[in-house]
Structure 1
Amino acid sequence: MCSTVKLVVQVRLRPTPEQAAALEATLRTCNDAANFASMAAFTTGNRREYALRKHTYGEMKARGLGAQAAQHVIKKVADAYTTLNANIRAGNLGPQGCARRIRAGSKPITFRADAAQPFDDRCLSWDHTAGMVSIWSTAGRLKTIAFTGSPGQLKTLAMYRKGESDLVYRDGMWFLYATCEFPDVAVTQPHGFIGVDVGIANIATTSDGKRHSGKGLNAVRHRNRELRRRLQAKATKSAKRLLKKRRRAEARFAADTNHTIAKQIVTEAERTGCGIALEDLGGTRDRVRLRKPQRVTLHSWSFHQLGSFIAYKAARAGVAVIHVDPAYTSQACSSCGHVDKRNRPDQETFACTSCGFAEHADVNAARNIAARGVAGWAVSHAADDAA
């Protein structure tokens, strides 16, 4: 069995002032055109790409967009409506009749003047030797824009880039987000599974007893929460700028923490020849009921990000990953299987009321997840063999 891995590599552009002005004008023109196309899609009901193209392509050209740029703008609008409709159907914007859901579907989607714009290989070419890109703009082709990145990013970009790249303007800087597709990696038949229990006190706990504490990250989040409260009360322009800056700094810190944890888990699984069993945490925020202070932490937590980091790192290493039902993993005894709320006298302790087995609660849950991973893998591959 093989897996294909897609990653997005970010590189920073170093345009001259003249090139930066041209890029800014290009984004503004593309997003003005996107807003026009979005209004047309909303008023006519033609939200599919082909139908929308018939209504808007001529106007796109009249606004100064090239043929490929016009196609990408139309596709961006169609994809935005597809995503909106999918979120509405899935209930991500609230139940039927909810004010948020009604509001989302009662007006056209709008695009910021500096929203990202995709470019394909006809509009964007790379010179990896010189560290330059050539990109289409409304002012003509910009042929010598320098780009930089870490050695690992540049190597990945040169070897595996495939498909579109997004032009992004953020915090006064220009970036290209390039899609890289790695070759298929054969997934090794696992000799058992490492279970991973995610939480708030401990970001991740593995079935072999390793606990990755969330104390440091929670402290950073708490400090930032207090800072946000004070800045929001001021509501000045400088306070809003600082709020945005702190939010992004916190997100980068959390992502770096998750990357580090994911790398350690995948490295251990690769070393021991095991697979990785993760909880299927879809809908956690809707299911879990917590006190108000805990809800703030839960809703700011990167459950999905950590899981996605583990999944893609495992795929690149050929490590099997399976998602299991998390129901009762924290209440079930990993020794005898007895399920009882009283098995958890407090947040850290697990003490089985049936067999007397005692362990750290998160480690016990991780062992249950590992056992479900073994069972789930056996069932799924028995079905594949039968087919």
Structure 2
Amino acid sequence: MLSAKLKLRHTPEQKAALDAVALAYRDGLNFASQTAFDLGKTTSVPKLHKETYSVLRQRFGLGAQLACTAERQVTAAYKTQWTKAKQNQKAREKGFTKRRYKGLDDPMKFVSRTLEYQHGRDYSWKKDGKVSVGTLDGRLQLEFDGYQKHLDYIAQGAETGAAKLYYRKSKKQYYLIVALIIELPDPVPADHKTVVGVDVGQRYHFVATDMNGQSLFEKGAAVCQKKDQFARARKSLQRKGTRSATRRLVSLLGRERRFVADRNHVLSKMLLTRFPDSIFGLEDLTNIRERTEGRSNPSASKKAKRAKRRRSQWSFAELQFNLAYKAPLFGSLAVKVDANYTSQACPRCGHTSKGNRPNAGLMFDCEVCGHKGHSDRVASVNIALRTLLVRQDWMSMGALSMRPDVSDVEVKAARLSKYAELRWNPDPNA
């Protein structure tokens, strides 16, 4: 699935109609949010529908589909808040934090002019290269611009899902974010002759190694410095607290978010073009922050606080997501493997120990066989070996396990035992 960002060509009159429906939808969301809060912060769509549907239709003028979409969006948002509250409770019980999650103390407030259209009901494509979108006073047919590859998919009749009408205040411009569902052939092992292990991190955004021992390092020092600049500017603006400082802060946050997103897109494309037609192995880093950050310490040094801030801003999930969704478009595939001991296990002899990484540094020095190397490269080699095992199982069983079953302790222990038997020796310098 791809997300196509289409710039709508609207006149001032058409923009006014889009403003009206976007603002009405936002007001409807806030009304439904208050109602859900009064109903015990409910996540039940039928329960909320009973209380809000007629009001959304009559008071706010929303169409039937938009009213239902608003109800689902609100209940989904409260469900997310409940999930975060439960995660916070578990973290407090384990001593990771003392802060109580306050996301459910007040009704959720929606401020952006963003609404969701359902294909065939709220929006549709026209033969003359236009898109028809719903407003409070009927349909508008608008021309649009976008990335040519996405426009070609739409012109060829690609299946489309839900779309979001998004307003960018700085440009006074509306965009339509459309989900494109691209049909690709089912992958088979023979299509992917190369296996690549990708170790992600902060000092190095990624270290990728294929089965021939060829590695690609991408340093992250320049990006860390840029993020530190954003952090210093953000801290200065927060101290001022004026209205102009707040406006500047919002703009700065958007710029930082776009900078990180662009960087992750560039990195993912770099990997896909360097290693074409490959199976990329990615570490399953679920709950990595809970396992590594530990409890907060107000008396920690500036260096420790800076390191923790950098960990909290580490966007590994976005990089892995970009790589996973782009891979099929480049004839490749991404799978997840267990992340346990990837930087502590020796790929030559299989010995696993924290002592293999003296002082948890960048150098790997096996206590048994003496194999030495860059610890991140060793991790990428181990990930490649585990991915190769996934490929072999795929070829033998005819089924591909896209994600390790982290919930089954015994099965995971058996996999880790199997990993310990893997050996690597593609060249003398590996």
| TM-score, normalised with respect to structure 1 | 0.87
Q: What residue is the counterpart of 2:187 in the other structure?
A: 187
Return the match for 2:281 from 254, 277, 280.
277
Return the match for 1:162 from 154, 160, 163.
160
SS at match of 2:102: helix
Q: What residue is the counterpart of 2:122 in the other structure?
A: 123
SS at match of 2:7: strand
| TM-score, normalised with respect to structure 2 | 0.79
Letter in 1 for 2:19: E
Equivalent-residue separation in structure 1 for 2:132 and 2:89 (angstroms):
40
Q: Is the 8 A contact 2:25 2:115 kept in 1?
A: no
Q: What residue is the counterpart of 1:3 in the other structure?
A: none
Distance 1:384 1:108, change over 3 A: farther
Residue 362 (structure 1) aligned with residue 366 (structure 2)? no
Distance 1:370 1:146, change over 3 A: same
Residue 333 (structure 1) aligned with residue 335 (structure 2)? no
Equivalent-residue separation in structure 1 for 2:241 and 2:399 (angstroms):
62
Equivalent-residue separation in structure 1 for 2:88 and 2:159 (angstroms):
32
SS at match of 2:183: strand
SS at match of 2:185: strand
Q: What residue is the counterpart of 2:175 in the other structure?
A: 175
Return the match for 2:269 from 263, 267, 291.
263
Q: What residue is the counterpart of 2:198 in the other structure?
A: 196
Letter in 2 for 1:348: L
Q: Is the 8 A contact 1:9 1:157 kept in 2?
A: no
CA apart distance, 1:204: 0.5
Residue 249 (structure 1) aligned with residue 255 (structure 2)? yes
Letter in 1 for 2:75: A
Equivalent-residue separation in structure 2 for 1:358 and 1:270 (angstroms):
29
SS at match of 2:178: strand
Distance 1:85 1:7, change over 3 A: farther
Q: What residue is the counterpart of 1:16 in the other structure?
A: 11
In structure 2, list runs of 5 or more residues that go unmatched. 295-303, 401-430
| Percentage of pairs with the same residue | 32
Equivalent-residue separation in structure 2 for 1:170 and 1:95 (angstroms):
37
Q: What residue is the counterpart of 2:75 in the other structure?
A: 78
By relative contact order (CA 8 Å, sep 6+), the higher-ranking structure is 1
Distance 1:72 1:43, change over 3 A: same
CA RMSD of aligned residues (A): 2.7
Instruction: Give the number of aligned pairs.
Output: 376
Q: Is the 8 A contact 1:188 1:319 kept in 2?
A: no
CA apart distance, 1:100: 6.4
Give the alignment of 1:196-345 within 5 angstroms: 196-207=198-209, 208-271=214-277, 274-289=278-293, 291-345=304-358
Equivalent-residue separation in structure 2 for 1:25 and 1:108 (angstroms):
24
SS at match of 1:183: coil
In structure 1, list runs of 5 or more residues that go unmatched. 1-5
Residue 28 (structure 1) aligned with residue 41 (structure 2)? no
Q: Is the 8 A contact 1:188 1:320 kept in 2?
A: no
